[in-house]
Structure 1
Amino acid sequence: MELAGTVTLFLVIYLSCLVIISAKKKIARKGTLPPGPTPLPLIGNFLQIKSGKILQSLLKLREKYGPVFTVYFGTRPIVVLCGHDAVKEALIDKAEEFSGRKTNPTLERTFQGHEKPFDPTYYLSRAVANVICSIVFGDRFDYKDKEFQSLLEMIYNTFKETSTARAQLYDMYVEVLKYFPGPETKIYNMLDNMRVFIAKRVKENQKTLDPNSPRDFIDCFLIQMEKEKDNPSSEFNIKNLELTTLNLFFGGTETVSSTLRYGFLLLMKYPDVQAKMHEEIDQVIGQNRVPNIEDRSQMPYVDAVIHEVQRVSDLLPMDVPHSVIRDTEFRGYIIPKGTEIYPLLNTVLNDPTKFDTPDAFNPGHFLDEDGRFKKNDAFVPFSSGKRICLGEALARMELFLFFTTILQRFRLKPLQAPQDIDTTPQESGVANIPPLYQLSVIPR
């Protein structure tokens, strides 16, 4: 038995070495990747990258290898881009070449009251989700609807679970871990349950569809499906409808509500900023009408604060994975077709050449000397280039209207001294998950 075990171990190591050597030879034939730490057989750069702290590990490697380098997640080469200049050069200047998309392995299988302190998490999720519901389903859900509450809980937990250390480990070493049961199963199950919910809504729409009077996104998709029913290569099919709707629902709910939760926390930590927002809201809108999106152009300070909330919350610090769609020359290197690209948005949003005090919460980053709003091309919370978030315009409108509507009527009061408020994320991986907290809302 001991001899058999030794032979088995030897074969595993031998085959692993062959896999690494073969992969490196294949890459060498096709191009020259940027430098980086030497990968080990099978496990790649496991020793240099902590599964629960991928971003921090990559930032440390940046200090040694510069703004563009290669790491290996198992046997997969990942090209990492850091800082405004490198990310802009890739996603904007070479937008076509870097327009490919990769999906995190943990998600891939599916995509194919009364002044008392309260936790705002699900209140904000319900409000934001109903904006998407009105677009996708043509109506809204009652906040007390149990099915709706269950759906939002699954969205929140999925968003959170994809950023845990376990999920990050799976994303790095999917080639091996996909053969073993693990935490990714929990994510698959939640996403499948969400898809079942959407499939049910699709069937309801099919029963009452009027091609001459579409009510929502699902109706529009179904109408186009009928038009292209004789086209075997059409992308308009039921599976794509369900997954596209799930993508819109998932992406358009948790990102905005998480930004709002971070924003409330930051406004309680910096009460002087909240007070200045109240002042501008009173001057421009007053108390006798509801805010509208046209007010934004007259409210530079509020606009600047919302931008700074997005910058500091750094919701998707590593962006979503990209890939190059063809062999691509980049800064003297040749990146082979299909190589994964990680544009670290964190390094752009905190680029000291673009922001005077990147480590501080400072709305002045988006104001000129006269107090007018100023744009900054390093403001990329929605990414940039051809894969920029398609919901950017909607998200920006939502954030402005939610912040102004709530602050018009209420003052946000923390349960502790502002200086003691901790903004450290619950989890930091694919996303930065806001910490849980309670607050009081005081009528103004």
Structure 2
Amino acid sequence: MPDTATLATPLRRIADLPGPRPWPLVGNLLQMRPLRFHQDVEAWCREYGPLFRMSLGPVQALVVCDHKLVSAALRDRPDGYRRPAVTESIAKEMKGRPGVFLEEGAAWREQRRMVMAALAPHAVKAYFPSLVAVALRLQRRWATAADSGATIDLADDLKRYSVDIVAGLAFGTEVNTLDGGEDVLQRHMDRILPAVSKRSLALFPYWRYVKLPADRELDHSIAALNTAIDALVADARVRLAADPARRARPANLLEAMICAAEDDGAGLAEDAVAGNVTTMLLAGEDTTSHTLAWMLYLLQQNPAALQAARAEVQRVAPDASAFTIEQMDALDYIDACAQDAMRLKPVAPYIPLEALRDNVVGDVAVPAGSLVWLVMRHDSVSDDHVARAAQFDPSRWLDGGAVNKQVSMPFGAGVRTCPGRYLALLEIKIATAMLLGSFDIASVATADGSAPQELSGFTMSPIGLRMRLRHASTSGV
């Protein structure tokens, strides 16, 4: 909605704003590195200020770097803004089914209500013993690596951990990718979300006319994932048929959605059940695992923070086999570590939106249909808004810390805030407490020891992080 403070002054047009000079036909796309484009846009923020324009091919976008304006736009969903239509179109072209991620308006509200109920803290806490069981599975895997001195592919193991948790909580299915050797399903998922991002920014949809090997692999992965999801839905239907009492109190998100879809007037289409299964698997895998990987790297780079984190674990939750939800809720420093890691390394460093009606952002008129590119990492890493902004300092998030918590919005803002926020933070606490209570970290680094590069797919991930562990010493901190 327009800011009343701006109504007394003439509004600027997006075309009148400063910004990088576009090239004919392609706009600024060829000036952006394919896997680092988020960093290029952040550099333009520093050059052109909090509001500027850029061109994605023929589409002109308003780039917003000021955290207050970013928050206002996020809070104006779903009425004022939506995900760009091109993203929805690409996802549907890739046989994406309707779910809470893609839906808008009334359909989104209905699905959001059910997903929020399934991921509410009390629902997640009821599943806590199963979360710990997955963490103990990861502990055994890492103990084997510590015994042999093997190097751990951090991203791969943390993705397996996240997939196992999400599959059990949301679908009531014991996937066990941690013990399963090569995880084919995970490999399929790793192709899909980056492809949505890449195709959404493509100048020309070549894949509709010519299939490259990567496109054929993508088609295979989509078909395989949809087949696996259909099997999950079928298994849940069998459980519900065998035990009708489960309909009164569904045991997981999938069962709740199936029951809602079968209720007259529920308004939930059959495809929406499969769509939300897909959303949970894809979103739950990348976001939590990448945040954990970044956090462990930052802890290893900051020995004082690592020592403080280990001391809290040894004081509050030293034994993974005896974890309780109360212990996890008491891990305030670990939570602060996650918050500062997400400030420095947000897995969603940008959020593109499309205006549903004429809007005003700052002093800029935004006509309906305009693309608005929200930069999530600008003020959050600026000394103007955060003291010692470049430093990893979890203590800034604790009582007495001076951080403005509105500057960093890793889960978004407003009614479309990520519904899995509590689960994600709980996964992070459980895995970190297990790690620091059981092992000493010998290293978290890339093969050549350089800082990990940021890879921008659908989420931002570290490239090439490897971890080496030793069994925890008995001498204490």
Please confirm whether the aligned pair reaches a TM-score higher than 0.5, indicating the same fold: yes
Distance of aligned partners of 1:147 and 1:422 in 2 relative to their CA distance in 1, 3 Å threshold: closer
The alignment partner of 2:322 has SS state of: coil
In structure 1, the partner of 2:425 is 396
Q: Which residue of 2 aligns with 1:7?
A: none
Partner in structure 2 of residue 13 of structure 1? none
CA contact (8 A) 2:348 2:410 kept: yes
1:158–1:187 contact (8 Å) kept in structure 2: yes
Match of residue 68 from structure 1: 51
> Cα offset for 1:410?
1.5
Preserved contact between residue 358 and residue 365 of structure 2 (Cα < 8 Å): yes
- Among 357, 362, 383, the residue aligned to 1:352: 383
Residue deviations 1:297-354, cap 9 Å, x none? Answer: 54433222121222222212113x2222211122232212232222111224323333
The answer as to 2:135 corresponding to 1:101 is: no
Q: Could you say which residue in structure 2 is the equivalent of 1:192?
A: 223
**Conserved? CA contact 1:87–1:348, under 8 Å:** no
Displacement of 1:395: 0.7
Question: Which runs of structure 1 show a deviation greater than 6 angstroms over 4 or more consecutive aligned residues?
Answer: 372-375, 415-418
Amino acid at match of 1:218: L
2:74 equivalent among 91, 108, 116: 91
CA contact (8 A) 1:74 1:175 kept: no
2:162 alignment partner, one of 115, 120, 128: 128
Q: 1 CA distance for matches of 2:176 and 2:311?
A: 33
Say whether residues 1:172 and 2:201 are aligned partners: yes
Which deviations, in whole Å up to 9, do the C-alpha atoms of 1:214-242 show, x marking residues without a partner? 343222222222213xx6xx752232211
Instruction: With the length of structure 1 as denominator, give the TM-score of the two structures.
Output: 0.79
1:33 paired residue number: 14
Does the CA contact (< 8 Å) of 2:299 and 2:305 recur in 1? Answer: yes
Match of 2:405? Answer: 376
Identity of aligned residues (%): 19
2:134 corresponding residue in structure 1? none
1:138 Cα shift? 1.0
Distance across 2 between alignment mates of 1:284 and 1:219: 35
Give the conservation status (yes or no) of the 8 Å contact 1:303–1:373.
Answer: no
**Is the Cα–Cα contact under 8 Å of residues 445 and 465 in structure 2 kept in the other structure?**
no
| CA displacement 1:33-81 (0-9 Å, x = unmatched) | 3624564553233354343432233233334432122322122232221
Say whether the 8 Å CA contact 1:293–1:401 is kept in structure 2. Answer: no
- Structure 1 residues without counterparts, runs of 5 or longer: 1-30
Deviation per CA, 1:270-307: give whole Å up to 9, x if none: 23322221112222334497333433554433222121
2 CA distance for matches of 1:56 and 1:281? 35
Quick one: distance in 1 between partners of 2:209 and 2:34?
A: 17
1:383 alignment partner, SS class = coil
Given that 2:356 and 2:369 are in contact with CA atoms closer than 8 Å, whether structure 1 keeps it comes out as yes
- The CA deviation at 1:147 is 9.7
Within the alignment, does 1:226 sit opposite 2:262 as a pair? yes
Q: Pick from 212, 221, 225: which aligns with 2:245?
A: 212
Instruction: Tell me the residue number matched to 1:436.
Output: 464
Unaligned runs of 5+ in 2: 1-11, 98-143, 473-477
Q: Could you tell me how far apart the structure 2 residues matched to 1:75 and 1:89 are?
A: 27
| Stretch of structure 1 that moved more, 396-405 or 291-300 | 291-300
Q: Matched residue of 2:339: which SS?
A: helix
Note the C-alpha offset of 1:140: 1.6
Instruction: Give the match's secondary structure for 1:209.
Output: helix
Deviation at 1:137, TM superposition (A): 1.8
Aligned to 1:141: 175
Q: Which amino acid aligns with 2:411?
A: F
1:429, distance to aligned residue in structure 2 (A): 4.4
Instruction: Give the letter for the 2:184 counterpart.
Output: S
Output the aligned Cα RMSD: 3.2
SS at match of 1:212: helix
Task: Give the structure 1 partner of residue 141 of structure 2.
Answer: none
Give 2:65's match in structure 1, choosing from 63, 66, 82: 82
In the alignment, the residues of structure 1 paired with residue 92 and residue 203 of structure 2 have an alpha-carbon distance, to the nearest angstrom, of: 11
- Structure 2 distance, partners of 1:314, 1:342, is 16
Q: Which residue, out of 313, 316, 325, partners 1:284?
A: 316
- Report how many residues are paired: 400
Q: After the TM superposition, which of the residue ranges 203-212 and 377-386 deviates more from structure 2?
A: 203-212
Equivalent in the alignment of 2:273: 241
Question: Match for residue 302 of structure 1?
Answer: 334
SS state at 1:77 partner: strand
d(CA) in 1 for partners of 2:35, 2:374: 19
8 Å Cα contact 1:71-1:78 kept in structure 2:
yes
Tell me, in whole angstroms, the C-alpha distance in 2 between the residues paired with 1:107 and 1:423: 33
Shift of 1:82: 0.7
Letter in 2 for 1:435: I
Distance in 1 of aligned mates of 2:320 and 2:272? 45
Paired amino acid for 1:407: L
Cα distance, 1:375 vs structure 2 = 6.5
In structure 1, the partner of 2:136 is none
2:440 paired with 1:385:
no
CA deviation digits over 1:181-214, x for unaligned, max 9? Answer: 3555544542332122101221233344245313
Match of 1:390, SS? coil
Deviation, 1:243, is 1.6
Q: Flag the 1:435–1:49 CA change in 2: closer, same or farther, 3 A.
A: closer
Distance 1:336 1:91, change over 3 A: same
The alignment's TM-score, normalised by the length of structure 2, stands at 0.74
- Aligned with 2:348: secondary structure? coil
CA gap of 1:311–1:202, structure 2 versus 1, over 3 A, is same
Q: Quote the Cα distance in structure 2 between the aligned partners of 1:305 and 1:288.
A: 19
1:424 deviates by 2.1
Distance (whole Å) between structure 2 residues aligned to residue 365 and residue 303 of structure 1: 12
Q: 1:257 aligns with which of 281, 289, 300?
A: 289
